[in-house]
Amino acid sequence: MLHNDTFLRALLREPTEYTPLWIMRQAGRYLPEYNATRARAGSFLDLCKNPDLATEVTLQPLARFPLDAAILFSDILTIPDAMGLGLYFAEGEGPKLERPLRDEWEIRNLSAPDPDTHLSYVMSAVSQIRRSLAGSVPLIGFSGSPFTLACYMVEGGGSEDFRHIKGMLYRRPDLLHQILEVTTQSVILYLNAQIEAGAQAVMVFDTWGGTLSTPAYEEFSLHYLRRIAAELTKQAEGRRVPSIVFTKGGGLWLERIAEAGFDAVGLDWTIELSEAKRRVGHQVALQGNMDPSVLFGSPQAIEKEVERIITSFGADPGHVFNLGHGISRFTPPEHVAVLVDAVHNVSRRLRTNN
Amino acid sequence: MLHNDTFLRALLREPTEYTPLWIMRQAGRYLPEYNATRARAGSFLDLCKNPDLATEVTLQPLARFPLDAAILFSDILTIPDAMGLGLYFAEGEGPKLERPLRDEWEIRNLSAPDPDTHLSYVMSAVSQIRRSLAGSVPLIGFSGSPFTLACYMVEGGGSEDFRHIKGMLYRRPDLLHQILEVTTQSVILYLNAQIEAGAQAVMVFDTWGGTLSTPAYEEFSLHYLRRIAAELTKQAEGRRVPSIVFTKGGGLWLERIAEAGFDAVGLDWTIELSEAKRRVGHQVALQGNMDPSVLFGSPQAIEKEVERIITSFGADPGHVFNLGHGISRFTPPEHVAVLVDAVHNVSRRLRTNN
């Protein structure tokens, strides 16, 4: 029994009483209670790998705000870590891999990790979070996209220019395809294992696909996203498990992304929702799309922007409110409260007036 | 007398025998001769402020490759430096400003620098480069866009999230507009002084406009770009001085950008030229748009991508070939030679076959 299934219904473009919302990185450093748990855990990675603590931080934002979904607390690089590439975090920097893929033999030796052995800590966290949620709101599972994982695997971390992976793309496309084949298989196994463990929706984060040219995006990212959409488990616990894909900076490719086979498409804030809806709203639900920086503004500015975005989409079914990128660690938590209330109130009012 | 005016004619959508090209940051660290001059100059800033040396490095790529335009060697932050914000370069990082704008009184006291006093070193470089070019190819002058300059002025350097300027945008939009007013006036004076000194085309780099939401882009970047387009000197030395605007990541807003009043629009590599041409090619010339990373590929991959891009635009007038971002310092110079030849050869062949 799910008390609040607004999020799941909106993803399937069924009518809802209001626009549901959750926030990318909602369990994160802007919350003092998160920082306290993290300090207790030791490192970020210890936190990810400890199902008790991962459950604790997953639930923290829900205790503060009436959000409409929980998202598994985990890292985007669990798959490369399970492949043996050595995930670590340098203080003040993003995630890094100790052994980036540069040599052909390493790439040829890559294989998809079994989610139930090397990633069992993730599945334990999923089950435990589901039990703790006790049917209050649905739980979202997630993975990085094959191309995004490959970026980290080849670069060894984040990058400004992605010169190693793009060098490979334009010099040895066969090697990059080899990485993407294995990574795609890994993502399918990983997400389906999360669904099996209790995830009620899944999201694929294609954080770096938007750095490609149109034909390169088609060949090295979207092609593999389509295969994931086709192979995802569609039904669990007697209900549809909706899927969401989010290519940051993918606004120009919206029609193709909407045809990839996912139920919903995440949007960053550069595109207008009305425009996105006009282009693909008959095919998929849309998730987004406020600039996280709006949360640095005044409560009035936040409310104004929420009103603008919700009105831009209109009262039709098929919108899940979110930010267009993870929430900043510098966000005042009380501004998140303003956001959540505004989304619920404005969208209820809009439905009443229609 | 200009021996090769292909670039200027293409910007005005007049027929040309081949597609002209230049390369953003063509005088840069991928060239050993540039690194030698820079070492001799002391710092990057000393190089910018010394007209003899700025002339030397501006001409270096033209000695190697048959490029169709020269671009003034300078920094994007000369205006904030002339405003007294203290430009400096930390080793291995981008440009920084010693005194970022955070306080209202500092913003209220900002005024547009007189190009002929505080920026006279730039005008000297322009005149000297023109003399040295001796009519071989045209010289491009440039400036950062008001919003992009404001980003650096408020953040104090580059940024991943632009939280200071976006915080201001959503908290005190009046203050940001005040900065943009002064910066717009400065850019107009600066570019017109460059034209007066001999620049034969000008380009405005809106490097960070693409990080905004659609309405914020309209209000805080495009609005000011329109004013610049309107106030630019249109004619010098008896010929039209074409202008180019480039909002990186602005593909979704192409129609509005094309209506801003510039002769040409720069494009990054995320958009297909055929699509961009279909959307706005009756209004403006298009400049771009190869991913700089293609130059890490094999010569065959470079030629293939050049062919794809040139064919995508077709044989009509109005295309200037360029990269979609500055060339990487890790580029092998011999790959630039492959690029330049490919652009000239493929585009000549395309015109012959049509």
- DSSP line for B282-302: TT-EEEEEE-GGGGGS-HHHH
pLDDT in tens, A147-179: 999 999 999 998 888 999 999 999 999 999 999
- DSSP 8-state secondary structure symbol assigned to residue A212: S
DSSP state letter for A219: I
**pLDDT of A319 higher than 90:** yes
pLDDT class for A292, splitting at 50, 70, 90?
A: very high
Q: Which amino acid is at A249?
A: G
Per-residue model confidence (pLDDT) at position A93: 77
Chain A residues touching residue B216 (CB < 8 angstroms): 291
The amino acid at A25: R
- Quick check: B252 and A269 CB within 8 A? no
- Per-residue pLDDT at A217 exceeds 70: yes
pLDDT for residue B89: 87
Confidence of residue A354 (pLDDT cuts 50, 70, 90): low
Residues paired with residue B204 on neighbouring β-strands, in sequence order: B143, B245
CA B138/CA B201 separation, integer angstroms: 8
Which among A163, A212, A215 is the nearest to B328, CB-wise? A163
Percent of all residues in chain A with a pLDDT value above 70, rounded to a whole number: 100
Tokens of A161: 């220019």
Nearest residue, CB atoms, A270 vs list B210, B292, B294 = B210
pLDDT over 70 (residue A46): yes
State the smallest CA–CA distance between residue A171 and chain B in angstroms: 4
pLDDT value of position A255: 98
Q: CB contact, 8 Å: A249 with chain B? A: yes
Least confident span in A24-33, A37-46, A147-156:
A37-46
Query: Chain A closest CA to B247's CA: distance in Å?
Result: 13
Q: Provide, as residue numbers in chain B, all residues whose Cβ is less than 8 Å from the Cβ of A302.
A: 170
Tell me, yes or no, if B162 comes closer than 8 A to chain A by beta carbon: yes
Instruction: Please report the pLDDT score of residue A1 as a whole number.
Output: 85
pLDDT at B354: 66
CB contacts, 8 Å: B292 with chain A:
161
DSSP category for residue B221: I
Q: Is the dihedral of CA A344, A346, A347, A350 positive or negative?
A: positive
Nearest to B293 among A170, A252, A297 (CB): A170
Cross-chain Cβ contact B308/A215 below 8 Å: yes
| ipTM, two decimals | 0.94
Which residues of A are catalytic, by number? 25, 29, 38, 75, 152
For position B226, what pLDDT does the model report? 98
Q: pLDDT by residue for chain B (354 residues), tens digit each? A: 899 999 999 999 999 999 999 999 999 999 999 999 999 998 888 999 999 999 999 999 999 999 999 999 999 999 999 999 999 988 777 889 999 998 999 999 999 999 999 999 999 999 999 999 999 999 999 999 999 999 999 999 988 889 999 999 999 999 999 999 999 999 999 999 999 999 999 999 999 999 999 999 999 999 999 999 999 999 999 999 999 999 999 999 999 999 999 999 999 999 999 999 999 999 999 999 999 999 999 999 999 999 999 999 999 999 999 999 999 999 999 999 999 999 999 999 999 876
Residue of A nearest to B302 (CA): A170
DSSP β-ladder status, B239-240 and B235-236: antiparallel
Selecting among B18, B152, B190, B217, the annotated active-site residue is B152
Q: Are B318 and B265 in contact (CB under 8 A)?
A: no
Lowest mean pLDDT among A44-48, A250-254, B199-203: A44-48
Q: Which of B83, B59, B86 is nearest to B70 (CA)?
A: B59
DSSP assignment, residue B203? E
Neighbouring C-beta atoms of residue A94, cutoff 10 Å: 13
Q: What is the pLDDT of residues A328-341, one digit of tens each?
A: 999 999 999 999 99
Tell whether B94 is within 8 A of chain A (Cβ).
no
The answer to whether B29 is a known catalytic residue is yes
Average pLDDT of the segment spanning A130-150: 98
Q: Which residue of A has its CA nearest to B324?
A: A213
The answer to whether the Cα torsion of B161, B163, B165, B171 is positive or negative is positive
Full-model pTM: 0.96
* Contact status of A311 with chain B (Cβ, < 8 Å): no
Q: Stretch A262-273: mean pLDDT, rounded?
A: 98
Touching check for A307 and chain B: CB below 8 Å? Answer: no
Other Cβ atoms less than 10 A from the Cβ of A155: the count is: 22
A339: chain B residues, CB-CB within 8 Å: none
Contact yes or no for A275/A255 (Cβ under 8 A): no
Q: What pLDDT, on a 0 to 100 scale, did the predictor assign at position B1?
A: 86
- CB-based contact A214 B161, cutoff 8 Å: no
Distance from CA of B293 to the nearest CA of A (A): 6
Share the mean pLDDT of chain A: 96
Residue B295 CB neighbour total at 10 angstroms? 27
Decide if B38 is catalytic.
yes
Give dist(CA A114, CA A271) in Å, integer.
38
Give the E-state strand segments of chain A in sequence order. 70-71, 87-89, 95-97, 139-144, 201-206, 235-236, 239-240, 243-247, 264-266, 285-290, 319-323
Q: What does the pLDDT read at residue B353?
A: 79
- DSSP structural state of residue A157: B
DSSP secondary structure, B82-143, as one string:
HTTS-EEE-TTS-EEESS---SHHHHHT--PPPTTTTTHHHHHHHHHHHHHHTTSS-EEEEE
What are the tokens at B2?
Answer: 């200009």
**Between residues A294 and A354, the one the model is more confident about:** A294
Q: How many CB atoms lie within 10 A of CB A91?
A: 6
